[in-house]
Structure 1
Amino acid sequence: MTTKTLGIIMNGITGRMGYRQHLVRSILAIRDAGGIHLSDGSRLQVDPILVGRNAERVKEIADQHGISRWTTDLDEALAGSGEVYFDAQLTTVREESILKAIAAGKHIYTEKPISESLEGALRLARAAQDAGVANGVVHDKLYLPGLIKLRQLVESGFFGQILSIRGEFGYWVFEGDLEPAQRPSWNYRAEDGGGVTTDMFCHWNYVLENIVGPVRAVTARAVTHIPQRWDEAGKPYTATADDAAYGIFELDGGAIVSLNSSWAVRVHRDELVEFQVDGTEGSAVAGLFGCRIQHRAATPKPVWNPDLRDAIAYRDQWQDVPDRQTFDNGFKAQWELFLRSLVDDAEHPYDFMSGARGVRLAEEGLRSSAEGRRIELGELTL
């Protein structure tokens, strides 16, 4: 069996997502499994090259996982033999590093947002197009079991005409004084690229676009509910970024989406994110893993009577969508899709332009909040 090895420059692997999801659960999992099976029967193996600013930490990770190549010098890594550049750094430094990688002729795979602004995102898309390098953006939530099931329901026509979607995402992120915060402090500083709108609207754009339809208009309100938090050293700081965003998105075809994203909400639902989709023929509630449905023929007939306790057990009348397949880690599944696209003529649709549309939705959501108005979104082109 023939095996091809692909060098992957991984920048930002000392952070939580870069280390846990991209390095350990994706690239190292692929490496330790012997690589990826290709259509011609051969295998594609991966060879990570670690890049980070903290030499001690990068070396510790490399030694722990048997990785021979690492550096604190991005230019040195880009001058080497690695064919793919991956970026999981802070958004504030991502665009500059990706442009360097494009100039070095590397294929690009990156976390989102791909840039701090739509202008920067389009600059990256143009640079990649001009250089002829492949490019992909992480769209991990499309690979969650619950959303895979939801997408299958849409494609099967289960809903009939989709009328509306109601989404809830979030949890209480502790302020850091009495209980350590479970998210990094930079998330709550706008000057460091923080903010729930910037973070989550990029996700919601690709989720809606690829499961139901493109977003054509946005009305949003971004707020900072918790004005003071405490950082990793226990020092208080002023929260300058929004920690909650309340959005209404209008989709192609007329469906209306109401979606709340908050780091200042206590959870009273089955999962940390849930989407309820209502259509003329049926409804579904999908989370990270579960998906429950109710068809038109099985819908109860409530009657409003505030004088009597409602005897209908509504939640009991929904049906679980069964697991009909084995679900891999979503980050790993998309890594495999992207890497196959480089050598196996497989399609990878989630490119820089898809990432740019996500950045635009976040940017326009913040503008909608600041100006207090609805903003229409047209086609986005280079």
Structure 2
Amino acid sequence: MRPLVVAVNGVTGRMGRTRHLHGALLPLQRSGIRSAGRRRELDLVLVGRRAAAVSQLAREHGVRRWSTDLDAVLGDPEVDVYFDAQRSGLRSGAVTAAIKARKHLYCEKPLALDGAAALELARDAEQAQIRTGMVQDKLFTPGFRALRSVLAAGALGRILDVRGDFGYWVSADAAGRPQRPSWNYRRADGGDFIADLFSHWYYLLAMVGTPLAVSALLATHVPRRHDESGRPYDVDVEDLGHVLVRLHGGVTGVISTSWIQRPPTPFTLTLHGTRATAMATPDACTLSTATLPAPGATPVPRQQPVPMPPQEDEFLSQWRQFLEHVAGDTPFPWTFCYAARAALFCDAIRNSGRRGTWCDVPEDTGDVR
């Protein structure tokens, strides 16, 4: 059984290098994956635009093959899978080329910066009969895996309301080094606050129910920032979004997301049910109930931690599941079609923010399953 060959584009960036290459692909290369009950080896091809950076990365990790010529890599019949972790504005073109080359596809989110483009990619991939997947890393963290087990057990009863909070303070002045690349704040370079962050919220909300409608308040509170060299530039991307949401089954919710706040933990999702409330972060999940010991008394919350599943890097977990999906029959639900629905959700948020009204989230994705 020959090795499964994965071309990895964008590994010289922070996320591609630390989370995908170091955290997932190199360990999987050492361990292999399961295919038809047997171990199958993994081979990597590193792809990037800067020869010096990508060749050095390959040397550091003993990866034999690297290239700056994406067309040549996609034209190689030995390459089975193409992974894209480039900046968002470059993704659609590379993915289109990979579909034409009949490569299986795994991508960082967002798939595209608008719903129409994401739907087109999903339809093209389906017609090419290739397997697709999107990174949904928060679902594979210990805290959200524990929350999924709580939901599966019905421990919360009927879910009534959802509260989500995400954020951290991104340095805005020349003295503080920005924690996010400056292109994130420039729309012409592919920066898109809604697509970047609410793509995460789509799959977290979908644990409870499909988003049906949204009402959004969006803002840019820091209109001028400094890039990696300390040079000032104008910001034309939002840095805050408060979104009311209606989910399937009558569940209500509110999601607050920003790059201008300092919460104790970046991602927090709270689900209020008829039996209990669950609060989940990537690292933990707790259940709480409140009792009224006497009329008019203050509720006394009772909290208990939910047992954590075995620890494993969330990027490694999902990479393994996707590669075993490509190599065999392991199910993988987070396809390009799923990503297209997330893009339509983001479209609705943008439209609501512009219009100041409720906007429906389209449910019909045409002939894409």
* TM above 0.5: yes
Structure 2 alignment gaps of length 5 or more = none
1:337 CA drift (Å)? 0.8
Q: Which amino acid aligns with 2:18?
A: R
Letter in 1 for 2:307: P
Unaligned runs of 5+ in 1: none
Identity, in percent, stands at 37
Alpha-carbon distance in 1 for matches of 2:223, 2:103: 42
**AA in 2 matched with 1:16:** R
**Residue equivalent to 1:347:** 331
CA deviation string 1:140-191 (max 9, x = no partner): 1111111111111111111111010111101111114121111111111122
Partner residue in 2 for 1:75: 71
Quick check: 1:55 aligned with 2:51? yes
Residue 202 of structure 1: CA displacement? 0.9
In structure 2, give the amino acid aligned to 1:26: A
1:5, CA displacement in angstroms?
A: 0.9
Alpha-carbon spacing, 1:226–1:336, altered in 2? closer, same or farther (3 Å): same
The answer on 1:5 being equivalent to 2:3 is: yes
Q: What does residue 311 of structure 2 align with?
A: 327
- Residues 218, 368 of structure 1: 8 Å contact kept: yes
Structure 1 position 183 matched with structure 2 position 177: no
- Cα deviation code 1:107-142 (max 9, x no counterpart): 111111101211111111111111111111111111
* 1:277 corresponds to which of 268, 271, 292: 271
Secondary structure of the structure 2 residue equivalent to 1:100: helix
* 2:206 corresponds to 1:222: no
The match for 1:162 is 159
Q: 1:266 aligns with which of 244, 262, 266?
A: 262
The equivalent residue for 1:374 is 358
Asked if the contact 1:291–1:320 (Cα under 8 Å) also holds between the matched residues in 2, the reply is: yes
Whether contact under 8 Å (1:197, 1:222) holds in the other structure is no
The aligned residue for residue 123 of structure 1 is: 120
Residues paired across the two proteins, number: 365
TM-score normalised to structure 2 length: 0.95
2:151 partner SS: helix
The answer to whether the 8 A contact 2:90-2:190 is kept is no
Amino acid at match of 2:58: A
- The one-letter code matched in structure 2 to 1:194 is G
Provide closer, same or farther for how the CA distance between residues 137 and 175 of structure 1 changes in structure 2, counting only shifts above 3 A.
same
Counterpart in 2 of 1:31?
Answer: 29
**Counterpart mapping for 1:102-117 below 5 A:** 102-117=99-114
Residues 376 and 233 of structure 1: CA distance in aligned 2, closer, same or farther (over 3 Å): same
Shift of 1:319: 1.0
Contact 2:292/2:300, CA 8 A, preserved across alignment: no
Shift of 1:338: 0.8
Cα distance change on mapping 1:101 and 1:321 into 2, 3 Å: same
Distance 1:178 1:39 in 2: 55
Do the aligned residues in 1 keep the contact of 2:279 with 2:287 (CA within 8 Å)?
A: yes
Q: Aligned equivalents of 2:218 and 2:229: distance in 1?
A: 28
Q: Structure 1 counterpart of 2:25, which letter?
A: I
Q: Which amino acid aligns with 1:289?
A: D
Q: CA RMSD in A?
A: 1.7
Moved over 4 A (4+): 300-305
| Shift in alpha-carbon separation, 1:335–1:56, aligned structure 2, 3 A | same
Shift of 1:303: 8.0
Letter in 2 for 1:5: P
CA displacement 1:338-377 (0-9 Å, x = unmatched): 1111122111111111001111111110110000010112
- What TM-score does the superposition give when structure 1 sets the normalisation length? 0.92
SS in 2 for 1:318: strand
The corresponding residue for 1:138 is: 135
Rate the CA distance shift 1:215–1:69 in 2: closer, same or farther, 3 A. same
CA distance in 1 between counterparts of 2:12 and 2:296 reads: 55
| Per-residue deviation, 1:301 | 5.6
Give the residue type in structure 2 aligned to 1:369.
G
Q: Does 1:96 find its partner at 2:90?
A: no
Q: In structure 2, what is the equivalent of residue 251 of structure 1?
A: 247
